[in-house]
């Protein structure tokens, strides 16, 4: 199996992460990037709001980062501009904000900025994305789809993502927007990958050892198709229900882990001791 995880962490966040009070996810990201010495680049391309990047820059500075830089990429030409590429060479972390993931794939995909992010992640820089930014991190990105609990043919559209990992397909705002059906459908299209459904204020810190740790106040849903014995995906018509037999499902909370290589899940240590 091709291992495309770089030596830096890949950190998808389910959206709506805490920004006041117990800022658990973003605080951990800053600490991972070096804490008081952390230099973080913010890419607000997914958002159409002009102040999104600066809000995260202020927040990361408040959390102790030494330096932040906002890269306002709103056109493909910006993503080929050395003024937006060169700052990525001197940071410890890169953060992609939420918004519309198709803005990320169409404005950044295949550009010098995308190549720089992949190269820097491979050399140890940590890359995080929230909401749309989370969906864009993997090779196969859920572009959009219908809500609902059951998989149905052609209710989800996939597009190429950034490609930091090919091991997972990520969906965000998972429980809040009832997205189990579209993640199952995406996995039905591509049973090589593992489905990761992230609730809001919940993140997966995926290390270079392929071990994932859950951080935050919600749940992370794992859909593992490695033991699937039957799929009707090839014969159903649009909106028909899809039959999938042999899927494994895990619901993980804060501190729980999952290994993307061995496909083994483990509860948080405190829960294990209590049991």
The domain ranges of the chain are: 10-274
Catalytic residue among 78, 126, 140, 173: 173
Query: Between helices 24-32 and 52-62, what is the axis angle to 10°?
Result: 70
Predicted pLDDT of residue 22: 87
Predicted pLDDT of residue 217: 96
Q: Could you tell me which of 125, 50, 113, 44 has the C-alpha nearest to residue 84?
A: 113
Q: Could you tell me which of 47, 10, 51, 49 has the C-alpha nearest to residue 32?
A: 10
- For residue 220, the tally of other CB atoms under 10 A from its CB is 27
Domain 10-274 annotated CATH 3.40.50.880: yes
Predicted pLDDT of residue 2: 39
200 annotated active-site: yes
8 A C-beta contact, residue 169 and residue 195: yes
**Burial class for 82, CB neighbours closer than 10 Å (0-12, 13-18, 19+):** exposed
Could you report the average pLDDT of every consecutive run of 10 residues in the chain (275 residues)? Answer: 66 97 96 98 97 98 98 98 98 98 98 98 97 98 97 97 97 98 97 97 97 97 98 96 98 97 93 49
Predicted pLDDT of residue 271: 58
Query: How far from the centroid of its chain's Cα atoms is residue 92's Cα?
Result: 18
Predicted pLDDT of residue 186: 98
Alpha helices in the chain (DSSP H): 24-32, 52-62, 82-85, 101-107, 112-122, 132-136, 180-189, 269-274
Predicted pLDDT of residue 5: 55
Predicted pLDDT of residue 270: 73
Element (H, E) at 39: strand 39-43
Catalytic residue among 47, 131, 219, 231: 131
47 annotated active-site: no
Catalytic residue among 17, 84, 140, 200: 200
């Amino acid at each position: 199996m091709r291992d495309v995880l770089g030596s830096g962490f890949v950190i998808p966040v389910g959206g709506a992460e805490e920004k006041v009070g117990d800022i658990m996810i973003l605080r951990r990201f800053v600490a991972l990037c070096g804490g008081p010495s952390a230099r973080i680049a913010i890419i607000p391309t997914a958002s159409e709001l002009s102040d999104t990047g600066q809000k995260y820059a202020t927040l990361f500075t408040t959390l102790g980062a030494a330096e932040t830089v906002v890269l306002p990429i709103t056109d493909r030409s910006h993503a080929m501009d050395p003024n937006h590429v060169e700052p990525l060479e001197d940071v410890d972390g890169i953060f992609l904000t939420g918004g519309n993931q198709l803005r990320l794939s169409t404005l950044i995909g295949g550009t010098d900025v995308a190549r720089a992010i992949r190269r820097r992640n491979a050399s140890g820089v940590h890359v995080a994305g929230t909401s749309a930014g989370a969906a864009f991190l993997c090779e196969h990105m859920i572009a959009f789809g219908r809500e609902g609990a059951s998989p149905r043919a052609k209710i989800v559209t996939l597009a190429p993502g950034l490609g930091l990992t090919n091991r997972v397909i990520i969906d965000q705002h998972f429980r809040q927007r009832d997205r189990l059906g579209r993640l199952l459908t995406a996995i039905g299209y591509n049973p090589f990958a593992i489905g990761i459904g992230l609730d809001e204020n919940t993140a997966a810190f995926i290390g270079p050892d392929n071990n994932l740790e859950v951080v935050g106040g919600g749940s992370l849903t794992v859909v593992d198709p490695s033991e699937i014995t039957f799929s009707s995906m090839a014969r159903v018509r649009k909106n028909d229900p899809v039959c999938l037999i042999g899927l494994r499902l895990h619901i993980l909370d804060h501190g729980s882990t999952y290994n993307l290589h061995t496909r083994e899940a483990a509860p948080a240590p405190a829960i294990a001791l209590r049991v």
